[in-house]
A and B are shown apart, each in its own frame.
Chain A
Amino acid sequence: MSFDIPSDSEEDDPDWLEGLQSGGDDADADFSGSSPPGEEEGAPDWLPDSSSEDSRSTSQSEEGEVPDWLAGIREAEESLQQSIVDPSSKLPAEGDSPDWLKSIRDQQVEETGSMDQAGDVPSGDFIGRIQQLQAQESAGGGADETQEWASGVGGEESPIAGETPSWAAGEQAEGADGPDWMSGLGGEEPEPQAEAPDWLAMLGSQQSPEEHPTAQISQSPVESGEARDWIGDIGGDETEPQGEALDWPGDIGGEDTVPQGDALDWPGELGDQPPGEDTSAEMAKSRVEGDEAPDWLSEMVGEEPAISPAFPAFTAGDQEGAAAVVGPDLPDLPGEPDEVKMPSWLDSLQESSQDVEVPDGTSVFDVPVPAAFTDEGESFLLEPTDLPDWLSEDVPLEVIEEPPARVETGDIDIAPAELPSWLQAMRPVEAVSLPVEAAVEARPPGLEESIGPLAGLSNVLPAEPDIVHFGTPSVPITGINITETQQNYARLLESLVIGEEEVHPPRKRVVALPQQILRWAIAGILYAAVFFPILLGGQSVPLPSTDNVIAEIQDVAVIIDGLPENAPVLIAFEYQPGLSGEMEAAAAAVVDHLLNQGAHPVVISTHPTGPGLAENFLQSTQSHHLFISDRHYVNLGYISGGTAALLHFAADPRAAVPLPLEEGGSGWDKSPLTGINEIRDFTMVLVISDDPDAARGWIEQVGPFLVDPSNPQSRTPLIMVVSAQAGPLIYPYYLSSPKQVDGLVSGLSGGAYYENTTNRPGLARLYWNGFSAGLIVSIIIIIFGGLFNLARLFLTSRRASRQ
């Protein structure tokens, strides 16, 4: 089977294409049937020449610069369709079909002779043909033939720049420029090749309809014997051993010296063509994309030149692996394994790869390299000059140690953003940011960061000071900007809070020296004026005259004079120990008068110190009375509760003050309390008080109980001896009508008056001279002090007015 490959080689073909075309090994010869091996001149036939490509490109400009070979395929298909539709229609004339297609047809003609033995095969069913071939092989040959074509594809010849691979070269054997089908792809005249598969004939045929590969296919079924030939031709070198059966991938990958990285340079080389000629692959690709080309061809052509140099899979060392990868699934290819020869174009690729320097080292991808893709002696790679620029560049597979290029922002004008006021307020104060700024300033300007994600950038804030800083910072870190005024307020608030918890000792009042002297002077004068008359015992100052009738005092005398003998009199001691001197002086004469009248005193108090004061009063002022000295009086003690206790006592004295006796019984059953069931059973009630509230309590709480409900006119008299400070507040009760207080003795003067009235000299007489002197001194001091202050004030104001 041969493939008619048009051999338009008038134009300059890329080197690798020329290599393909010049490949004229046996495989190519068998494959093509006519092309001698070793021809490595010119571009492969299946790839159009530059001139032919230009002509075709111009002709195909309307098709969007479709490659010539692809255009040929289209035309072939169109003719095939026309033949299918109208079998009577002729295929495009011989002059219209591309040369490569013609060559393919010629090959097919030769092949159909053998293929007819296998039976009719529908046109275009190349898979069916392959199956037929397999069947023939299995009947006639070994299974190794399945690998023959693959090994034959690899071939011994390495593709070099400008050379077609061996298998491709074998295809061009018919023509002057390698296998016919390949030459047909390149626009050359198809060369008769004995063994060209039909599907290849379809691709390259541009010959007459009878030379159309489809027609050839339909007309000449593939013989089983010769069907495998094309595959074997594709395999290339027949002398390749079985071990190298699958060398073609390795051949494709290149020689042993070819590193793994560039093992498959030929795809790149396919694209690496001179500018004027670097359209074959694209054209082929476009044809493949546009038309329904076989997948293997589309894969070959469709691969972009952008294959990385680190294409991993194929190296020049692992041939066995390659053999394993390829596997035995390939159909039985014609020819012995040894007879399978690599196509010339593959050989040319291998030869060209010998000169390509591929860096040593590990492959980028850890993939076991098939043995078929490694070849010790042959290389499938194209020459470096055929590779595209980007493929031919030696890119070292190294770890990038240098940091990436620094981004130059000098040319970029970046204006500083205007921060809003609220954001500026959140800016940390300089005291906080100083460490960072200091650290930044300490670093040399323009220093690039060497580690971390910011490697390569300059003017980066140092992270180390903030990261490795332990402990409390020297400068307090604040998140907000606090003004001095706010700090002062904060300190003030803190001091106030702390001050609430502290216990401050009482401050000593500091008095100025002149004031202290004045105080001592006043005290001395007063003490002297009061004590000397008492110590001297003088009574020069007369007592208040009885000519001036003081009614409230005289009523007391009258009431007491009217008491029967042995009358129980309730005496309440409701004053404080501090005012005992005045109260004893005021009440001594009254109590003495009572005792002289034969009254039996019953003492009670609502103050805790009352019972003690009562005892002291009676023993100090009334001890001359035998009744007192013998303690024949009753002391009811202290009743708690204040006003409530008075009410309770007034309502039920026996209940308020129980008097249990040791020998049993109650003290209320003994004299003088015999017959006392209610408070009004007392003959008289005498209240001695220095507090107006206590006096009012007796008046308001006890007074109503002193009135006999059966006879409102009968009422137990209530007499009060009060201090001079409480007299004015109790006097209205005396003046009320009906009287709530029957008699009132107020202060030392009242006691003196009562003593003068009853002609019973007592403490009042004793204190009267001193009292009078002290009173005069006090008046003088107050007058002189007032006058002095007024004069000073007048002079100060006058001086101020003058100034």
Chain B
Amino acid sequence: MNRLKFKAPIATVIAILAGWGILFTYILPLDNLRNTVLSWVVIAAAAALLVGVINLLSVHLGKLRGETGVSLYSFSLIFALIITFTVTLLQGPEKEFPQWLFTYVQIPIESSLMAVMAVTLTYAGARLLTRRTNAFSVIFGIALLLALLGAAPILSTEITFLREITQVLSGAGARGILLGIGLGTVATGLRILLGSDRPYGG
């Protein structure tokens, strides 16, 4: 806690100075400075990704040494990580074996998880009125059905007006969301620039 207290003011000062600097690069002809800073960000992001991978490895190694015994999932993860990292590091991502691992291991696994989600969503839709029976639940169910009916032709019959309704309704909702996102982004940026928000432990 003492270290955090010591670092927090410095981190906050750096964040504020960097934000104001990048903002000024848009106002002043300082494109080169902006590009230089952005190049630093790219490198730092890559390093952060590597640190995240190492942290993941350490966590699962700790689980292997834990009191609850050897975890099969942690062992599989560590094994796969080591193999993939080693092969890709030695051959490159475009080579055959790394590509084979990616094509026949990673993609099928993730695709399968996504496919199960389809069943889960269907089951949840069927039990929608069981958990919470109110008007909003009914409206949600009706909207869901309309969206599904307008997404594809039903028995070779395409219901185009449903597609247009859903598209208009969804477009309206999306616009509101996008406006909220934009306003929130501006507010968050101003808070960081002004020092009101200190997400770096300050």
- Which residues from 88 to 120 on chain B have a C-beta closer than 8 Å to any C-beta of chain A? 93-94, 98-99, 102-103, 106-107, 110-111, 113-114, 118-119
User: Is A640 in contact with B46, judged by CB distance below 8 angstroms?
Assistant: yes
Asked whether A655 and B94 contact (CB < 8 A) given A775-B151, A784-B126, the answer is: no
Candidates B68, B94, B111, B114; contact of A635 at CB < 8 Å: B94
Q: How far is the CB of B173 from chain A (nearest CB, A)?
A: 7
Complex Cα distance, B66 from A639, in Å, reads 37
User: Is A522 in contact with B126, judged by CB distance below 8 angstroms?
Assistant: yes
User: Is A732 in contact with B175, judged by CB distance below 8 angstroms?
Assistant: yes
Candidates B123, B133, B151, B173; contact of A728 at CB < 8 Å: B173
User: Is A652 in contact with B158, judged by CB distance below 8 angstroms?
Assistant: no
Q: Quick check: is A608 within 8 A (CB to CB) of the other chain?
A: yes
User: Is A781 in contact with B46, judged by CB distance below 8 angstroms?
Assistant: no
Interface range on chain B (Cβ under 8 Å from partner): 35 or more
Complex Cα distance, B31 from A269, in Å, reads 130
User: Is A728 in contact with B126, judged by CB distance below 8 angstroms?
Assistant: no
Q: Quick check: is A771 within 8 A (CB to CB) of the other chain?
A: yes
Q: Which residues of B contact A612 (CB under 8 A)?
A: 93, 98-99, 102-103, 106
User: Is A523 in contact with B68, judged by CB distance below 8 angstroms?
Assistant: no
Q: Quick check: is A778 within 8 A (CB to CB) of the other chain?
A: yes
Complex Cα distance, B102 from A319, in Å, reads 129
Asked whether A793 and B153 contact (CB < 8 A) given A644-B42, A648-B41, A731-B174, the answer is: no
Interface residues of B, dominant DSSP: helix
User: Is A781 in contact with B156, judged by CB distance below 8 angstroms?
Assistant: no
Complex Cα distance, B151 from A774, in Å, reads 12
Q: Quick check: is A537 within 8 A (CB to CB) of the other chain?
A: no
Q: Which residues of B contact A297 (CB under 8 A)?
A: none
Interface centre among A576, A580, A786, A792, by most chain B C-beta atoms within 10 angstroms, is A786
Candidates B110, B118, B153, B175; contact of A526 at CB < 8 Å: B118
Candidates B42, B122, B127; contact of A656 at CB < 8 Å: B42
Interface centre among A518, A651, A792, by most chain B C-beta atoms within 10 angstroms, is A651
Q: Quick check: is B141 within 8 A (CB to CB) of the other chain?
A: yes
Interface centre among A503, A541, A644, by most chain B C-beta atoms within 10 angstroms, is A644
- Of A434-442, A451-459, A542-550, the one contacting chain B is A542-550
User: Is B103 in contact with A616, judged by CB distance below 8 angstroms?
Assistant: yes
Q: Quick check: is B198 within 8 A (CB to CB) of the other chain?
A: no
User: Is A542 in contact with B153, judged by CB distance below 8 angstroms?
Assistant: yes
Q: How far is the CB of B19 from chain A (nearest CB, A)?
A: 13
Q: Which residues of B contact A651 (CB under 8 A)?
A: 31, 34-35, 38
Q: Which residues of A contact B123 (CB under 8 A)?
A: 518-519, 522, 781
User: Is B145 in contact with A782, judged by CB distance below 8 angstroms?
Assistant: yes
Complex Cα distance, B141 from A627, in Å, reads 48
Complex Cα distance, B25 from A648, in Å, reads 13
User: Is A522 in contact with B119, judged by CB distance below 8 angstroms?
Assistant: yes
Q: Quick check: is A645 within 8 A (CB to CB) of the other chain?
A: yes
User: Is A580 in contact with B111, judged by CB distance below 8 angstroms?
Assistant: yes
User: Is A544 in contact with B158, judged by CB distance below 8 angstroms?
Assistant: yes
Candidates B42, B106, B113, B129; contact of A609 at CB < 8 Å: B106
Q: Which residues of B contact A431 (CB under 8 A)?
A: none
Candidates B35, B129, B181; contact of A789 at CB < 8 Å: B129
Q: Which residues of A contact B102 (CB under 8 A)?
A: 577, 609, 612, 616
Give the nearest-CB partner of A793 in chain B: B133
Interface centre among B68, B113, B126, by most chain A C-beta atoms within 10 angstroms, is B126
Mask of A762-803 contacts with B, CB within 8 angstroms, 1/0? 000000100110111011011111100110110000000000
Q: How far is the CB of B200 from chain A (nearest CB, A)?
A: 17
User: Is A781 in contact with B125, judged by CB distance below 8 angstroms?
Assistant: yes
Complex Cα distance, B148 from A724, in Å, reads 11
Interface centre among A540, A544, A784, by most chain B C-beta atoms within 10 angstroms, is A544
Q: Quick check: is A611 within 8 A (CB to CB) of the other chain?
A: yes
Mask of A592-614 contacts with B, CB within 8 angstroms, 1/0? 00000000000000001101110
User: Is A639 in contact with B42, judged by CB distance below 8 angstroms?
Assistant: yes
User: Is B129 in contact with A645, judged by CB distance below 8 angstroms?
Assistant: no
Q: How far is the CB of B48 from chain A (nearest CB, A)?
A: 8
Q: Quick check: is B80 within 8 A (CB to CB) of the other chain?
A: no
Q: Which residues of B contact A778 (CB under 8 A)?
A: 118, 122, 125, 148
Q: Quick check: is A493 within 8 A (CB to CB) of the other chain?
A: no
Give the nearest-CB partner of A523 in chain B: B119
Q: Which residues of B contact A540 (CB under 8 A)?
A: 156
Q: Quick check: is A578 within 8 A (CB to CB) of the other chain?
A: yes
Give the nearest-CB partner of B108 in chain A: A577
Give the nearest-CB partner of A727 in chain B: B170
Q: How far is the CB of A782 from chain B (nearest CB, A)?
A: 4
Q: Which residues of B contact A776 (CB under 8 A)?
A: 154-155
Complex Cα distance, B156 from A542, in Å, reads 6
Q: Which residues of A contact B45 (CB under 8 A)?
A: 640-642, 644-645
Give the nearest-CB partner of B99 in chain A: A615
Q: Which residues of A contact B58 (CB under 8 A)?
A: none
User: Is A548 in contact with B160, judged by CB distance below 8 angstroms?
Assistant: yes
Interface residues of A, dominant DSSP: helix
User: Is A544 in contact with B126, judged by CB distance below 8 angstroms?
Assistant: no
Q: Quick check: is B144 within 8 A (CB to CB) of the other chain?
A: yes
Q: Quick check: is B128 within 8 A (CB to CB) of the other chain?
A: yes
Q: Which residues of A contact B94 (CB under 8 A)?
A: 611, 615, 635
Asked whether A578 and B42 contact (CB < 8 A) given A548-B160, A655-B35, A731-B174, the answer is: no
Mask of B148-175 contacts with A, CB within 8 angstroms, 1/0? 1101111110101000000100110111
Mask of A571-602 contacts with B, CB within 8 angstroms, 1/0? 00000111111000000000000000000000
Give the nearest-CB partner of A519 in chain B: B123
Asked whether A771 and B127 contact (CB < 8 A) given A526-B119, A641-B45, A782-B141, the answer is: no
User: Is B35 in contact with A790, judged by CB distance below 8 angstroms?
Assistant: no
Q: Which residues of B contact A647 (CB under 8 A)?
A: 38
Complex Cα distance, B99 from A776, in Å, reads 36
Complex Cα distance, B86 from A327, in Å, reads 120
Q: Quick check: is A749 within 8 A (CB to CB) of the other chain?
A: yes
Q: How far is the CB of A631 from chain B (nearest CB, A)?
A: 9
Q: Which residues of B contact A542 (CB under 8 A)?
A: 153, 156
Give the nearest-CB partner of B105 in chain A: A577
Q: Which residues of A contact B125 (CB under 8 A)?
A: 778, 781-782, 785-786
User: Is A783 in contact with B145, judged by CB distance below 8 angstroms?
Assistant: yes
Complex Cα distance, B94 from A519, in Å, reads 40
Mask of A753-769 contacts with B, CB within 8 angstroms, 1/0? 00000000000000010
User: Is B38 in contact with A648, judged by CB distance below 8 angstroms?
Assistant: yes
Candidates B39, B160, B171, B177; contact of A648 at CB < 8 Å: B39
Q: Quick check: is B49 within 8 A (CB to CB) of the other chain?
A: yes
Q: Quick check: is B130 within 8 A (CB to CB) of the other chain?
A: yes
Q: Quick check: is B178 within 8 A (CB to CB) of the other chain?
A: yes
Complex Cα distance, B45 from A545, in Å, reads 46
Q: Which residues of A contact B41 (CB under 8 A)?
A: 641, 644-645, 648
Q: How far is the CB of B201 from chain A (nearest CB, A)?
A: 21
- Which residues from 620 to 675 on chain A have a C-beta closer than 8 Å to any C-beta of chain B? 635, 637, 639-642, 644-645, 647-648, 651-652, 655-656
Apart from A747-B151, A785-B125, 10 more pairs, CB < 8 Å? A523-B119, A540-B156, A541-B153, A577-B102, A648-B35, A648-B38, A728-B170, A729-B174, A778-B122, A781-B125
**21 interchain pairs, CB-CB under 8 A:** A522-B126, A526-B118, A541-B153, A577-B107, A578-B110, A609-B106, A640-B43, A641-B41, A644-B45, A647-B38, A648-B35, A648-B42, A651-B38, A652-B35, A655-B35, A724-B151, A728-B171, A729-B178, A775-B148, A785-B127, A786-B126
7 nearest A-B residue pairs (beta carbon): A785-B126, A578-B110, A728-B170, A578-B114, A789-B129, A648-B38, A641-B45
